[in-house]
Amino acid sequence: MRIKKVLASVMAACLSVQLLSACGKEETRISDKIHVGVTYYNQSDTFLNQLLDSFREQLKALDQEDLETTVTIRDAAGSQRTQNDQVKELIDAGCNVLCVNLVDRADPSEIIDLARENDVPIIFFNREPVAEDLLQWERLYYVGAHAEQSGVMQGELAAEAVLSDETTDRNGDGKIQYVVLEGEAGHQDAIIRTENAVDTLKNSGVELEKLSYQIANWNRAQAQNRMEQLIGQYQDQIELVLANNDDMALGAIDAYKKTDYTESSLPLFLGIDGTDVGLQAVLSSEMWGTVYNDEEGQAEAMAKLAVAVISGEGMEDLSFENEKYIYLPYSRITRDNVEDFL
Ligand code: BGC
Ligand code: CA
């Protein structure tokens, strides 16, 4: 008798679970319209423009019979206030998931409040909010890469170049005179990349002498300008240029091109990103190497996550750290393997 009762209740429980999941399925179908609203800090950023081009493609690729996707992209033009307004506007226009590349990564509260009030999840990307902010609400995520890893890899590439070719030490004093072109102050990728690149070089046994650090805000023209000043100041003493991204490495190369440099007076240039222009510079040997900041992988993770947070399907295919973070690995690029990335 008791056994029968237990069996009956187990069967009832199974049935209701089945019913529930069937309902759940119905419900996801209905909301399988993914309207993504994107806002990013500045439309002049080479890396982000490439990342967002990939994102559009990746999202399109997920478009299927019962899944409709749209994307609207806004440029915050360097103003956090503008970005806050854009978020409001995107939500009002019916976006049901947001991808936000913060202008000020320390100031996401207003955006988070707006999203929470309207129950619109946010995928932050590339400019990482501080950990406490991501804990403000459970529907907040981040997609990016570990800055430290890119710095280490840049240092490894530089060490390899220096140790394999003694002419890099042009004045033969046993030390490598270097300058750093740094990204925006306060960006998670700027200082961490520099520190790790320099430490890795030192740990590889390369004697270093720092000539100067200059901030050029990820920007090619600013980097050219800073580099022109540095060339004026240090003449042919600079043996190595470590740039926090490809655009700044290219700006430095532009500066040398404006002087009547000889091939043998050029320093070694290293970037990070592997943007199209960066890869071309590695291919033509103008830049010794770069570190691939996997824009395609990041774009793919963002697209899949956007679909998953709305449809409830596919979360298990994504690899999270601490449940909210997706970090894509970097890779080293030199003349030897650049073709694999083109
Ligand atoms: C990239 C830079 C880019 C910056 C923007 C960095 O991860 O390496 O090229 O300008 O993000 O936030
Ligand atoms: Ca030297």
Domains of the chain: 33-145+294-328 (3.40.50.2300), 148-292 (3.40.50.2300)
| Ligand nearest to the backbone CA of 240 | 2
Please state the pTM of the whole predicted model.
0.91
**Banded pLDDT at 280 (limits 50, 70, 90):** very high
| Ligand nearest to the backbone CA of 211 | 2
**Banded pLDDT at 31 (limits 50, 70, 90):** low
What is the per-residue pLDDT for 263?
A: 84
Length of the chain: 342
Helices (H), the chain: 2-30, 46-62, 80-92, 109-117, 131-134, 147-164, 190-203, 220-234, 246-258, 276-283, 295-311
**Banded pLDDT at 66 (limits 50, 70, 90):** confident
Query: Distance between CA atoms of 242 and 156, rounded to whole angstroms?
Result: 12
Strand ranges in 126-279 using DSSP code E only, listed in sequence order = 140-144, 176-182, 208-215, 240-243, 268-270
Q: Which residue has the tokens 């559009």?
A: 56
**Atom number in ligand 1 closest to CA 218:** 10
Average pLDDT, the chain: 92
Condensed to tens digits (0 to 9), the pLDDT of residues 128-181 reads 999 999 999 999 999 999 999 999 999 999 999 999 999 999 999 999 999 999
SS3 104: coil
Instruction: Give the mutation target among 43, 47, 192, 275 for probing the ligand 1 site: most ligand atoms within 8 A of CB.
Output: 47
Asked if pLDDT for residue 319 goes beyond 50, the answer is: yes
**Nearest-CA residue for atom 10 of ligand 1:** 218
What is the per-residue pLDDT for 64?
A: 83
What is the per-residue pLDDT for 11?
A: 44
Q: Which residue has the tokens 């999840």?
A: 121
Condensed to tens digits (0 to 9), the pLDDT of residues 208-248 reads 999 999 999 999 999 999 999 999 999 999 999 999 999 99
Please list every protein residue whose CB sits less than 6 Å from any atom of ligand 1: 45, 47-48, 126-127, 187, 189, 218, 245, 272-273, 293
What is the per-residue pLDDT for 18?
A: 39
Asked if pLDDT for residue 265 goes beyond 90, the answer is: no
What is the per-residue pLDDT for 1?
A: 43
Q: Phi then psi for 206, rounded to 5 degrees?
A: -90, 125
As a whole number, mean pLDDT of residues 61-88 equals 95
Q: Which residue has the tokens 């030897």?
A: 336
| Ligand nearest to the backbone CA of 78 | 1
Asked if pLDDT for residue 27 goes beyond 70, the answer is: no
